[in-house]
Structure 1
Amino acid sequence: MDVKTGLFYLFSAVLLFAAFRVITAKNPVYAALYLVLAFSQAAAVWLMLQAEFLAITLVLVYVGAVMVLFLFVVMMLDIDMDRLRGGFWKHFPLAGIIGAVIALEMAAVLMGGFRIGEEGRIAAGAAVAAAPDYSNTRELGKLLYSEYLYPLEVAAVILLVAIVAAIALTLRQRKDSRAYDPAQAVRVKASDRLRIVKVAPTVAAPPPPPETPAPEAKA
């Protein structure tokens, strides 16, 4: 077994362990951290398959953005996990059936992809060997911005609409929040913030009145 095969089995084993701990960890923060570990191992496997664009996209998008946002949400919200786990065994049979169907579909797709003839493997190896400076990221960019340019633009417009809608939903006027106009803060002047008031000069306090002697008591 060579080094590449050993690294593949190592990354795969860690990936399977992390994926198992994602669904078995009781603490949602630990589950999210295990999911980050699973993503990193999947990115390493993709790098070994010379799919560096997918690996970098997985790390930047999911690990660097989605999972960080998920961790912030989980740590900031007070989630009652016992209440969420209350109906676990009630829905477990249906979830098990759906999981088995998905596993069978993935197995069918993978087995169909592994059935590559020897001639196809030799041709692919010759094509890769004939182009030492081949980059799948560059080829993917050429294909994406040539044949799939219109679907890319449609997806960009949909994402833009989603961003504008999210901003519009968060810009509600709330009574319990204090807000200020940045334009007024920029145009502020010293006379608006400082007011000079003339006060009378300080005078000495008047002397206390003399003490009157107490009257003598009569015998």
Structure 2
Amino acid sequence: MDIPTALFYIFSAVLLGASFRVITARSPVHAALFLVLAFFSASCVWMLLHAEFLAISLVLVYVGAVMVLFLFVVMMLDINVDSLRQGFWTHFPVAALVGVIIVLEMAAVLIPGFDVRTAPATDPVAMQLGNTKLLGIQIYSHYLYPLQIAAVLLLVAIVAAIALTLRQRKDSKAMDASQQVRAKKADRVHIVKMAADVEAPPAPPAAPAAGDSKP
């Protein structure tokens, strides 16, 4: 076994372990950190496959931006994890069945791609372009519509995340803009007429009596 093969098995094992911990971790923050580890391991696998652009994009986009967004959303939502875990084992058989079906479908699609006997011949012109340009040609020519659909789904997810953060909570101090617009001058300033409170002038000192005068 050569070094690249050994590294592939190591990174793949770390990727599988981190992915399993993402769905089994009790804390959402810990699950997000395990997802960062899974992204890094997948990036290393892409590097071993000589797909440098995909590896760097995975680190910069997902680890640098998306995961930071996940952590902020998890902290802002203040999710009660205990209530979400209620009934976990009740629905576990159905979830396991769906997971097995997904794994079988992915295996049926991906396994034929590992057959080197049916692999197409390498185009020397394509090899000179580099994997970054080839990826751009494939995405914006053959997979343009799936790319647009993915962009719309991401936009919907962003709007949903913003809507979840604006829900009514006891500790929320958000202001209603519609109520601020409908405010009138009489609602903001109330003039009360009060009687003036004038202090009486101090009494003059009493004049001393004649018998009290001293020589």
TM-score range, shorter chain: 0.5 to 0.7
Determine the C-alpha separation between the residues in 1 that align with 2:110 and 2:147.
31
Show CA shifts across 1:108-129 (max 9, x none).
2232222231x747x44xx56x
For structure 2, the 5+ residue unaligned runs are 167-173, 181-203
Map residues 120-139 of structure 1 onto 2, 5 A cutoff. 120=119, 123-124=121-122, 127=123, 133-139=128-134
| Equivalenced residues, count | 179
RMSD: 4.1
TM-score, with length taken from structure 1: 0.63
Classify the secondary structure of the residue corresponding to 2:112.
helix
Task: Name the residue aligned to 2:20.
Answer: 20
Q: How does 1:41-190 map to 2 (within 5 A)?
A: 41-117=41-117, 120=119, 123-124=121-122, 127=123, 133-145=128-140, 151=145, 158=152, 174-175=176-177
What's 1:8 paired with?
A: 8
Cα distance change, pair 213–156 in 1 and its aligned pair in 2 (3 A): farther
Q: Aligned equivalents of 2:16 and 2:158: distance in 1?
A: 38
Answer yes or no: is the 8 Å Cα contact 2:126–2:134 preserved in 1. no
Measured at CA, do residues 137 and 77 of structure 1 come closer, stay the same or move farther in structure 2, by a change above 3 Å? same
Q: Unmatched 5+ residue regions in structure 1?
A: 179-208
**1:154 Cα deviation from its structure 2 partner:** 5.3
Q: Percent identity?
A: 56
Amino acid at match of 2:132: T
Deviation at 1:174, TM superposition (A): 2.1
The alpha-carbon distance between structure 1 residues 41 and 148, as it changes in their structure 2 partners (threshold 3 A), is closer
Q: How far apart are the structure 2 equivalents of 1:102 and 1:16?
A: 16
Q: Residues 173, 156 of structure 1: CA spacing in aligned structure 2 closer, same or farther, 3 A cutoff?
A: farther
| Residue number in structure 1 paired with 2:194 | none
**Using the alignment, how far apart are the partners of 2:31 and 2:179 within structure 1?**
34
Listed one character per residue, the Cα deviations across residues 28-72 of structure 1 (whole Å, up to 9, x for unaligned) are 101100001001110110121122232223223222222111111
SS in 1 for 2:50: coil
Alignment check: 8 A CA contact 2:15 2:41 kept: yes
1:172-193 per-residue CA deviation (whole Å, 9 max, x = no partner) reads 9725999xxxxxxxxxxxxxxx
